[in-house]
Amino acid sequence: MKKNTFFLVSIFCSLAFTACEDAKKSETQTDMKEQEITITEEQIDELGITNKDFLSAASKRALQWPKDLGNEWFIEFSNLKPLKGDLAYEEGVVRRDPSAVIKEDGKFYVWYSKSTGPSQGFSGDIENDKVFPWDRCDIWYATSEDGETWKEEGLAVPRGEKGAYDDRSVFTVEIMKYENKYYLCYQTVKSPYNVRVKNQVGLAWSESPNGPWIKSEEPILSPADNGIWKGEEQNRFLVEKKGDFDSHKVHDPCIIPYKGKFYLYYKGEQMGEKITFGGRQIRHGVAIADNPLGPYVKSPYNPISNSGHEICVWPYNDGIAALITTDGPEKNTIQWAPDGINFEIMSVIPSVSAHAIGLDRTADNEKEPTEILRWGLSHVYNNSDYQSIMSFTSARKTTHAAKGEKSK
């Protein structure tokens, strides 16, 4: 009797499960039919869909693209061009990570990381060696009348005294002008520079682009303190807990005045960083303050990108645009957020020759979305030890025609 009861219960459960599955399939088919009804003839023609009743995953994704997506965000970068004067390549000297370019009293200004001598890596005496080209850097600045020939004006922000949070290196600087004051934000490292060191962000301000600069006594931004290293070995890939996307380092800061507040965009590096299907696991975040000097509070929406490397952001159309390069599944894209936080892809760039971009902040941001990328500064690895600053240009790409063929 028990066997028969069990058999009947099994049949009932099987029938019930089958009925549920059939109901789910029916709902799915209904949803697909409803989705098919929303496909217009214009979409079918534009996307070249063969049969709207048989949509590939690629076609379904394409149907979700914005209907008004054009080519106004699509650009191509030029090859880099060497600069003249004091910013021409100099053997034995590192000049890299240029800030944005601003114009004051008829002259362009740029700030950058500067160090001298080769780097030895982490295999030797890290207390006295130079582990990276951006190790043992100070922040210098230069001016130019034409953006091509530059005069190095001197030191702007030095490393701190021994024991300070910035005693090892200050580098990767960005400039913001606000209400006739000037603000430099930058990365900092405290000695010793080992592979588990946690970079922070510092700030300096001045009444003049020529200084003198007053440095913040404490960092304005630090990594999340919620990851756990595994063991004592100097190995940044060994973790018990990875923590937030920025649990190891906060890099490449850039402050933008936006909607009455100050948005500090930055690159986060996570403890135990992985290589994924998009390459290095790098993401961006934002911290927001009511005052340029802070305090800066990290957004609860962080991370705000799933890709990227150096921060390259600018205001456009009441939102914030960003060039995302180098790392992650959405690298080499231009994105835009109407609220400065929720970014969507606006274009995919075939390749980006410019890295660590110093934007031309004198450009008309509202002329078109990428006007600020028409000219700017970048850096190049002349070799593994030394880098120099160069310039780039870009142009919108709107047509594709063969030689001798008339474009539309």
What are the pLDDT digits (tens) for 84-129? 999 999 999 999 999 999 999 999 999 999 999 999 999 889 999 9
What are the pLDDT digits (tens) for 20-65? 444 444 444 434 444 444 788 988 998 999 999 999 999 999 998 8
Q: What are the Cα distances from residue 173, in Å, to 81, 99, 165, 211, 316?
A: 21, 6, 16, 15, 22
Residue of 347 and 4 predicted with greater confidence:
347
- Please, what is the end-to-end C-alpha distance for the chain in angstroms? 82
What are the pLDDT digits (tens) for 128-172? 999 999 999 999 999 999 999 999 999 999 999 999 999 999 999
Is pLDDT of 4 > 50?
no
Report which secondary-structure segment, H or E, holds 63: helix 57-63
Question: In the chain, what are the domain boundaries?
Answer: 2-63, 75-396
Distance CA 21, CA 19 (A): 5
Q: Could you name the CATH architecture of 75-396?
A: 5 Propeller (2.115)
Cβ–Cβ < 8 Å for 266, 254: yes
Q: Categorize the per-residue pLDDT at 247 as very low, low, confident or very high, splitting at 50, 70 and 90.
A: very high
Is pLDDT of 3 > 70?
no
Kindly report the pTM of this predicted structure. Answer: 0.89
- Predicted local confidence at residue 240, as pLDDT: 96
Least confident of 29-43, 53-67, 214-228, 338-352: 29-43
Distance CA 351, CA 371 (A): 18
What are the pLDDT digits (tens) for 176-201? 999 999 999 999 999 999 999 999 99
Distance CA 346, CA 334 (A): 6
Is pLDDT of 15 > 90?
no
